[in-house]
Amino acid sequence: MKQNLSKQPLTILYILLFSIAIMLSGNVLAVGEKATVEQLNAVVTNQATIDAGQNAAIATVDSKISGITPPVRAIGDVLPDGSIVFWVDETGQHGMAAKSFDGPASNWYDAKEVAENNGPGWRLPTKHELFILFDQRVVVGGMDGITYWSSTEADAIFAWSILFNPPTSTPATVLKTHVQSVRAIRHF
């Protein structure tokens, strides 16, 4: 054990001397002949020179990127998966889409699964999203007179559902074991 401890101060001394040597060599280099601003600019310019071929390639990539525009969607658009847009943001690039048909009537637990089984991103709408969907019910296909599950839970045994009864929509908390309609939505 003493041998290891006696080597430790010597190792620290070597590291210290090595560090001092590095610092001094840096100072010696810095004290040497000073470069002018023009010389430094020439070095930087030479390192960053882009030839005409590279410049053309960069311009081509820039034009291709700037030419890419995401699709702008509107309420009522049918997406490639057959869903129908029922809400879009001010850019028209983001929004919500719903299935054009109901899933099988189910209790709340199964309704969540039915919606999610449509694929990645599909789910039951929240209570708020169901109100938006009610406003666009004609666009997404006949939802009148039907009560739909929302994903919004009231508590451990109740969840919110909404009766689509034009001209109004009626929200209510319902036992999760009760059977109601399912309309899946997703964001895009």
Same domain, 29 and 110: no
Instruction: Report residue 34's pLDDT band, with 50, 70 and 90 as the boundaries.
Output: low
Number of domains in the chain: 2
The phi, psi pair for 89, rounded to 5°, reads: -80, 180
The answer to whether residue 74 is domain-embedded is no
| pLDDT exceeds 60 at position 32 | no
The answer to whether residue 137 is domain-embedded is yes
The pLDDT value given to residue 40: 58
Same domain, 45 and 136: no
**CATH code at 105?**
3.10.100.10
Same domain, 33 and 116: no
Same domain, 61 and 90: no
Same domain, 152 and 122: yes
The answer to whether residue 23 is domain-embedded is yes
Question: What's the rounded Cα separation, in Å, for the pair 66 and 7?
Answer: 64
Mean pLDDT of 125-145: 93
The answer to whether residue 79 is domain-embedded is no
Same domain, 34 and 107: no
The answer to whether residue 72 is domain-embedded is no
| pLDDT exceeds 50 at position 118 | yes
User: Counting Cβ atoms within 10 Å, is residue 170 exposed (0-12), middle (13-18) or buried (19+)?
Assistant: exposed
pTM given for the model: 0.63
Domain edge (last residue) among 66, 95, 110: 66
The pLDDT value given to residue 28: 44
The answer to whether residue 75 is domain-embedded is no
Residue 138: domain span: 84-187
